[in-house]
Each structure stands twice: as structure tokens, then as C-alpha cells.
Structure 1
Amino acid sequence: MTSPLPARRTLRLSTPDGVGIAAELSGAEAGRSLLFIHGFSQSGLCWSRQTESPVLAGFRMATYDFRGHGGSDRPRGATFYNEPARWADEVAAVIDACGLDRPVLVGWSYAGRIICDYLGRHGSAGISGIVFVDAAISNERRFYGRCNRLMRQMCSTDPAENIAATRALLRRCFAAPVPQPLFELLFGVNMLVPAEVRAALFGRAADYDDLLSRLDVPVLVVHGEEDEVVAPAMAQHLASLVPGATLDLYAGAGHAPFIEASDRFNSRLAAFVRDARQA
């Protein structure tokens, strides 16, 4: 008989620049640490198939809503969103407040940039490894799919255009339809993000190639082969940059393989975490 999952604990923390961040802890109190970082216009709720998985229950897992998203503060002003040091220090603040011991960082989509911002400012000494999931680490157009126009429309102040674009992009995140309750949850979370916050996430530089080529922790690059948002070419480029990185492509999955193929993803993640702490 499967043991019940440990109770979740919510907390609120403050970043060095004064932004209130909503976070949640689950799993084993003394287990190896995982920090899940969501993507553009999402929240920590997107990781429910990981935080509720018996396969991962032995780890100490933390999720959070990054600035402007979910239950966290939504400061006004582009400077809160386009300065790498703010993102880097936010990750460091979450690690500290959650008591995570050299966590493996698991970052989806836009979180690829956030992880790189953290590495650029704080280095890799405080983490055990990284799992990049359909991650964006470059602005080069060749690395993106056919959804850029939709993402721009999601920044519209016209509610009808904004809602239509958000719904369309979310559908195209998946190679096959997901259950309606899950779609509604993810759509609702999307609509919590103000248009001006979405707009502020665009436009900043993404020059991480040199940093990634000097990375000295284990790295797993996961990507759905049917991803229409971030092209598989991005994952191939990322894996080619990082010494010793492993590339894991998911046939039949789109932009969210951790949702579409959660059993496979969770088993692979558990093995990676165990191996990373021994590296």
C-alpha cells in the first residue's frame, strides 16, 4: 500500500528588491532538494504532476510563483522584470527561505533564462544540477516555433484579443488535448498575469552561450519533439554547449513533456537527482 504524500506547506518570502513571492514545499523534509521554476505566464501549480507523484515523494520539493505571476506580487515598472540580477536574487531568496540544500533546478521554458541569470550572478556552487525543460536560453528566431505572434498578442490591453491569444497558445503547448479541468486551471493561472507584466518579459538580452559552455554541474535537457513554442533546435543547441549534458527528446510531446509524459519525466528526474548528488 502506497504511503500518503507528506502535507504541503505554503510560505511567503521577500526578494532583495522587496517583491513578495508565494512558495510551496512538499515531499520529504530531509530528502534531496528540487526547485521547480515555471514558465511564461504560468505558476508553480503547473508542476502538480511532479509534486503529487509518489516517485518523487522522497525528495524535498519547492515550487514558487515568480514575480508578476500567480500569488506573488506584481510590481509595476519594466525594471522589475528586465534586470537579470533581480531574477537571480529571487531564485537565491527562494532557495534560502525554503531551506533547500544544493537543489537541482528544474526550469520550464522562460525559466531557462532565469536559471542562467542565477548562474551568472551566483555561480553553480549552491546547486547540484539542472534540468532544462523545453527551455529558452536564446533570442535567436531560428530556435522558436510558430507561436511568437500569439505571445505578443497575449500582451495586448484589449481583453478579447488577450484572452483569445492566451487560450490559443495554451492549446498549442500540448501535442494532444489535456483533460479539461487541467486546461482550465492552467488558463486561469495565465489570466492572473497582467498584460504589462507579460510585455516586460520580452526584449531583454539573452546571451548565455559562454556561461553555459563553462557550466560544471550535471545537466539534463528535456524537450518535446512536437514543441511549437520553443523549437527542438533550442534544446540541441543547449545540449551542445554544456559539457557532458544529456539530451532527452520526447516523441509525441509538445511544449510540456512533464505534463504530457509525466510518468516518464518523473522517473527520469528521480534518477537524475540521485546521480547528480553523487557527481
Structure 2
Amino acid sequence: MPATTRVATPDGVSVAAYDFGGSGRAVLLIHGYSQSYLCWGKQFEGALPGRFRLAAMDLRGHGASDKPTDADAYQNGERWADDVAAVIDRLGLERPVLVGWSFGGRVLCDYVRHRGQDGISGLVYVGAATNMNRAHAGPGRASIPDMFSDELATNIEGTRGFLRACTAQPMPTDDYEVALAYNMVVPAAVRRVMMARKVDNDDVLAAIRLPTLVIHGEADTIRLPESGRHIAATVPNARSAFYPGVGHSPFYEAPERFDADLAAFVDGLK
């Protein structure tokens, strides 16, 4: 089990951080929209802990973190950057690699925009969203509007549909039930204000000088593979890996390949 730490952020929000220990290079895993650190369970159980200093966090509004409902808490990119910086500082992570899944890709861009690149050693975009390009949004997003509903039955059904779209093949029942539980912890009001934020991070991507890896599933119907290709083409000298037959969750659907690709990337850093 990880060591769990409450981290105070500059605007008074408390976020939950999880430290799995290890003496190697630090890797901070940042989950996606309506998820929690638990989505990385296969990484916690695989070959990465011990080999690297593995850590994760619950984004504000998610998991065990505080859940303010005012729009500015989620639509101001500096807030997201501050949260990540606070976790890095509180856990003592030395120039970590930041790994961002889906909405976590926006958080990575927020960090680079507001905190710069000197304090981190690399970036990994996983099934990532970095802008509002409609051409990158797939049919798997169809259930998301129902996740905004304050009517519980509608909200649950929307969340179920969203989770089904997160993988190319159905999740085992036990995994699906756990994922549904931590998705439902996120209030509808938080989901609404998060999705109301308009962003375009191409300027950030083009200015990245850090080693960057893009991982994307070729069968992703939530954030289409074109999104990953766009990120890889915009970030100078980015490397990329596209997984055939894999959907929106490469780390879950192909954990051994994902862990190997992530490890090789981290091992190759100076």
C-alpha cells in the first residue's frame, strides 16, 4: 500500500498524494477526467515500483481530494499547475517525469505553461487531450453530457457509458465496479465546470524542450488517435507509440507494453 499524504495547495484545496517509494527516478502519474489514482492499479502491481520512485495523486475534485464546486477552481490553469507543484514539493520528488492520461494531458500543459520545464525531466502524454479540436473528439464521448446531470439515475447511466468507452474490450466485472465507484465520487458540478473550460495548448506543446513520449491506443473512441499524432507532431522531437486494438486506457489494456515503454523512456533520460 502507498503512503498517503494530504497536500495543501496555494488556494487552500487539499489534494491526496500517494507515494509508492523506490529509489530510482521519480515518476508522477496524473489521471484523467472523473477518475482517481486507482486507475493506475496495474502499474502499482507491475514492474515499475522499486525500479522508479513511483507516485500518483488525486486531482482536485476527484478521489480523496477536496471538491470545491466554484468554476475558477477548475477553469484556471494555474490552479492545476500549482496542485502538481505542491505534490512534487511535498513528496520531495526530484525532477520527476510527469505522466498525464486524457485530461491529465491538459494538466501537463498547465504545469509547463505556469511552472516551466526546469523542475521536471520528461513528459508522457497518454491518450491525451490538450486542446478543443472537435476533429479529435470521438463517439465514445457521447455519454459525457449525462455525467453532468444532478439526476442520479441519469448521471450513473452516463458514467457507465463513459467507462464502457474507455476500453476497446469490456473490463472484467470487478474492475468495472471499482472504476464506477471512484468515478461516481466526482460531483456532477465538478464534471460540468471542468468540461466548460476552453483551452488551446499548441503554443505550449511547440515550446517543449524536454524529452516527450506520446502513447495512444489506435482504437481510442474518446480521444481519437489523431489527438496523439497531433501532440507528437507539435512537440519537437517527441517519440510516440501507438497501440493497435487498444482503446482510451493503454496503461490498463496493455499494461506490460505500457510499463516497458514507460521504463525505457525513463531509463533513457539523462
TM, length-normalised to structure 1:
0.95
Quote the RMSD (CA, aligned, Å).
1.0
Equivalent of residue 223 in structure 2, options 230, 238, 253: 230
Give the Cα separation in 2 of the matches to 1:205 and 1:265: 30
User: 1:94 — aligned with what?
Assistant: 87
User: How far apart are 1:264 and its partner, in Å?
Assistant: 0.5
Equivalent of residue 29 in structure 2, options 29, 36, 41: 36
For 2:7, the aligned partner's letter is: L
For 1:67, the aligned partner's letter is: R
Quote the sequence identity (%).
Answer: 47
Give the Cα separation in 2 of the matches to 1:253 and 1:164: 24
Give the Cα separation in 2 of the matches to 1:8 and 1:196: 29
Give the Cα separation in 2 of the matches to 1:69 and 1:16: 18
1:92-131 Cα offsets, whole Å, 9 max, x none, are 0011111101000010000000110110001111111011
- Partner of 1:66, secondary structure, is coil
Give the Cα separation in 2 of the matches to 1:55 and 1:66: 22
- Partner of 2:106, secondary structure, is helix
Give the Cα separation in 1 of the matches to 2:52 and 2:240: 23
- Partner of 1:222, secondary structure, is strand
For 2:246, the aligned partner's letter is: A
For 1:158, the aligned partner's letter is: E
User: How far apart are 1:142 and its partner, in Å?
Assistant: 0.3
Aligned 8 A contact 1:221 1:246 in 2: yes
Aligned 8 A contact 2:141 2:162 in 1: no
User: 1:267 — aligned with what?
Assistant: 260
Structure 2 residue runs without a partner (length 5+): none
Equivalences, count: 270
Give the Cα separation in 2 of the matches to 1:95 and 1:185: 27
Aligned 8 A contact 2:6 2:17 in 1: yes
Structure 1 residue runs without a partner (length 5+): 1-6
Relative to structure 1, the CA distance from residue 39 to residue 240 in structure 2 (aligned partners, 3 Å threshold; closer, same or farther) is same
For 1:18, the aligned partner's letter is: G
The question of 1:61 aligning with 2:54 is answered yes
Equivalent of residue 199 in structure 1, options 187, 192, 204: 192
1:125-169 Cα offsets, whole Å, 9 max, x none, are 111101100000010110110133311110111111110110011
User: How far apart are 1:172 and its partner, in Å?
Assistant: 1.1
For 1:223, the aligned partner's letter is: H
- Partner of 1:58, secondary structure, is coil
The question of 1:146 aligning with 2:145 is answered no
Map 1:245-260 onto structure 2 (within 5 A).
245-260=238-253
- Partner of 2:200, secondary structure, is coil
User: 1:17 — aligned with what?
Assistant: 11
User: 1:214 — aligned with what?
Assistant: 207
- Partner of 1:81, secondary structure, is helix
Give the Cα separation in 2 of the matches to 1:132 and 1:245: 10
1:17-48 Cα offsets, whole Å, 9 max, x none, are 000111110041x2210000000000001111
Aligned 8 A contact 1:68 1:197 in 2: yes
Give the Cα separation in 2 of the matches to 1:56 and 1:218: 22
User: 1:4 — aligned with what?
Assistant: none
Give the Cα separation in 2 of the matches to 1:145 and 1:80: 27
User: 1:171 — aligned with what?
Assistant: 164
